[in-house]
Structure 1
């Protein structure tokens, strides 16, 4: 795993429940091993309930509510998957805005499995090359992305992977991109209609 995150804070954005536990814990551990400080950001205070497939798993304490979180406090953003997690996040305007703000700030974002649903809602996939859990391929193409079936895809600071089997390479690339810092081409896409 290349890149040092010494002294850097990394946001992990999840909903109140439904995050796939391993897609939260493995990248979290990778950030810690690289010297970074991961912070759990969620839609409400207290704790979040993770899942293993569809079975309830552990709970994790929330560090900050998304409405109180500032993108400038973080070097990058990790979006773990799970089916329910991104589906819930994309219905929370503060969460969608938080994601979009990372792109506007040209900061790295790493999303795995179903997490690109939140990217679609933030309107940041147009013209980008990425991957995801295969069932999202049509959604991503309809949102203007170029979808590909690969373990990991890196597109100017945006790191995406398909599922937990890809976690080794996903974690390595996420740390690498966050360590590199801002990416000038990592900016929020503007719809062809000119609307923001």
Structure 2
């Protein structure tokens, strides 16, 4: 075989090997992590119990980070799970009238999945940091995943398609409210129920998760 023929054969073999590697690795690119959100900017309205006053509306938002594409049958654990809870200036004034000016505690947030399975029904122990809020105006409290939080794993269905995670019609929080006059904290279990509207509020996280 001539030197030119040997070079040509070598190039052909190399090209074939590169092509084979490309085919083998085409489907193995790492999935991107995206933030899934529920409630948009306005929030989802729940009616929640408070100490000393009747149940009041609270606007809830939620978010979590997870891969944009999950292989069928595999399990993931969402991260950066959290959100916010906002009360209006009117609700704030009612709390002020009964002597409360601060809050702290943890939240339990149930979730559902349209496909696949969850390892537990709720994210628990989500942190609500201590806040002594200024007089007047609406109040927004941040909710965040911490080391002691427990977040459900999600196992994708066996077949390709998509799945949507959603909040449910209820959530709760183990709170303490700060009494301004005495400087003491009073325990309170807050229970929240999704406000019934027509059309119904959208509690789904967006976008849906792609299952490959």
Q: Shorter-chain TM-score: what band?
A: under 0.3
**Higher fraction of strand:** 2
**Higher fraction of helix:** 1
Superposition TM-score, scaled by structure 2 size: 0.21
Superposition TM-score, scaled by structure 1 size: 0.22
**Rg larger in 1 or in 2?**
2
